[in-house]
Structure 1
């Protein structure tokens, strides 16, 4: 990679876990975080610390907890509020504690929180309750720990961890789409936009909303768009979406928002756990031929 002038950023946990860790209870068990997870972090830091350009400890902590322990979308496929609260706490602590350790390698450490905006489409009580839970889980929990050193989720007692405030060098996030809520149910938003195979609207404009909110939530904090992309077999659609996202980032920088970088998801079409090879995110085909959308990055992105 060095010979090809490619900077490698390493993510230590991207949704999947070894069976033995899962059999021990995964992130439902505090000892698994403090002992086995941190052993993993130490090993990766010591083995690859001199080879990487930067670190991203845990990918989309909020999505991992919700999809696996509340929405039944990913393994272990549970729907248990108490388990979800526990895993949310543990995975947030896991990524922040890993960040503190990885900083010792003198390489930048970036978070990856899955962020999107939510539009309330009616005034029902269920809608307002859903919105409160949505922002609590997807925005407030991770940001408050990073900004204030306080971990609070739902009605649980806050965990005071001042040592984890400012644990990341740069606040990174993923953006794929906005959401709407009607009668307490999540729906695609805007409803007038084309819906992706994953069920959300293909709407780059929400990236601007996320950046503006982060500027208010985390003033004077450098930001990175850690994931941005669209799952589609229509590469013209990808080119349009990618170009629009880059334009939004350029505009944000011009307006004084400190955006340090942009990662596109993804380079090469990958195997999506729930969709196989049919859902294409890459600017490069699985046979390693480039797609026209790769030219968008070449023309618009400046090398680091």
Structure 2
């Protein structure tokens, strides 16, 4: 039988949830994702989970659960549907959303790029074109800071910086749907720079800035040279660019020459990351880890303990940088499984803190069930369903946030 234990969390520990505009509001008609859906490459997102009309209720529910931070994205394609043309109603709606969060006692964190782009920006070449980053993106970041900075309590500029280029330019199913190694390297370089440059500007608002890198625990299942080589390659591609730029001011993207940007060293107040799965490597091939893990509906092994591996490795690489768990969750309609996975993830986090790792917060993905990109609405991640029924799993977070209670039961 599971036993609950008192776990003291650090003062000021951040308890939050995360969501994105496209997933919770539906694709913006002026976005590349809207066209992607209409071309048959992804399910139709519709109105998402109707967040645009139910945000007051959503914030009230989250506040009652003791989850006092919420990350959302401000959809570029909604506020600037044509280059240089701003939609006053969309801007007013986002300000209303941010103010409603404040009124409910919730600190809103804002993301500027969560996978989607205005179609006009994509049509200009997106992040393949240097000028688009150095001029158009920079102008957009300035506009966001000036227009919403008085209401935003924290920034997470770009979602999963290290994943976007792979998803869009290496056959990952995201627009523009390319599979070009060289283009992927160019965009990876650009999006890392765009993220860090945005962080420097957004810090001027006085609110903390965190990264969001998508990280998987990497575990060698044998000691063959091919296995060790594969892990080294994954690290160079997925881990090292973001860590190196923050720590050393040098961006190293495989396939591109190193870029020295000392002005970007230390650009984040917190190193944030998302965690969903471990990645086993055997005989040089990617395999499930643990080998006998329960498989999630999205096809990866369910292993909360991998979160601890990432926390240890980040602490070793960035010993003086506070860490933020920016996304942690599981896509499943089995809320009992979600509760167990969440329980173990919280215990792993607390164990890492006890080892001396400076973890500042925990954002659950997500608050309300929403649209899951290529999977449509079939894979729910929320602690609240689309009808706004609070799930049992929400109680796991509530107990941790309000009383420090975490169940000791361990799952794979």
**Which category of TM-score, normalised to the shorter sequence, fits these structures?**
over 0.9
Inter-partner Cα distance in structure 2 for 1:82 and 1:183: 27
Match of 2:103, SS state, is coil
Q: Which residue number corresponds to residue 372 of structure 2?
A: 272
Match of 1:191, SS state, is coil
Gaps of 5+ in 2: 1-100, 404-412
1:250-300 CA deviation, whole Å, 9 max, x = no partner? 111122111111100000001011011111000000111110100011001
Gaps of 5+ in 1: none
Inter-partner Cα distance in structure 1 for 2:222 and 2:359: 34
Match of residue 189, structure 2, among 89, 102, 105: 89
Deviates more, 1:253-262 or 1:95-104: 253-262
Q: Which residue number corresponds to residue 130 of structure 1?
A: 230
Q: Which residue number corresponds to residue 399 of structure 2?
A: 299
Mapped pair 1:2 → 2:102: yes
Q: Which residue number corresponds to residue 285 of structure 1?
A: 385
CA contact (8 A) 1:188 1:199 kept: no
Q: Which residue number corresponds to residue 35 of structure 2?
A: none
Q: Taking CA–CA contacts closer than 8 Å with sequence separation of 6 or more, which of the two structures ends up with the larger relative contact order?
A: 2
Mapped pair 1:21 → 2:121: yes
Shift of 1:169: 0.7
CA contact (8 A) 2:202 2:209 kept: yes
How many correspondences in the alignment? 303
Q: Which residue number corresponds to residue 248 of structure 1?
A: 348
Mapped pair 1:259 → 2:359: yes
Q: Which residue number corresponds to residue 74 of structure 1?
A: 174
1:61-100 CA deviation, whole Å, 9 max, x = no partner? 1111112111333222222111111011000000000000
Inter-partner Cα distance in structure 2 for 1:250 and 1:125: 35
Max radius of gyration: which structure? 2
Inter-partner Cα distance in structure 1 for 2:175 and 2:294: 29
Within 5 Å, which residues of 2 pair with 1:198-217? 198-217=298-317
Deviates more, 1:190-199 or 1:101-110: 190-199
Shift of 1:40: 1.3
Match of 2:156, SS state, is strand
Match of residue 46, structure 1, among 146, 152, 163: 146
What is the root-mean-square deviation in Å for CA atoms of aligned residues? 1.4
Mapped pair 1:110 → 2:198: no
Q: Which residue number corresponds to residue 319 of structure 2?
A: 219
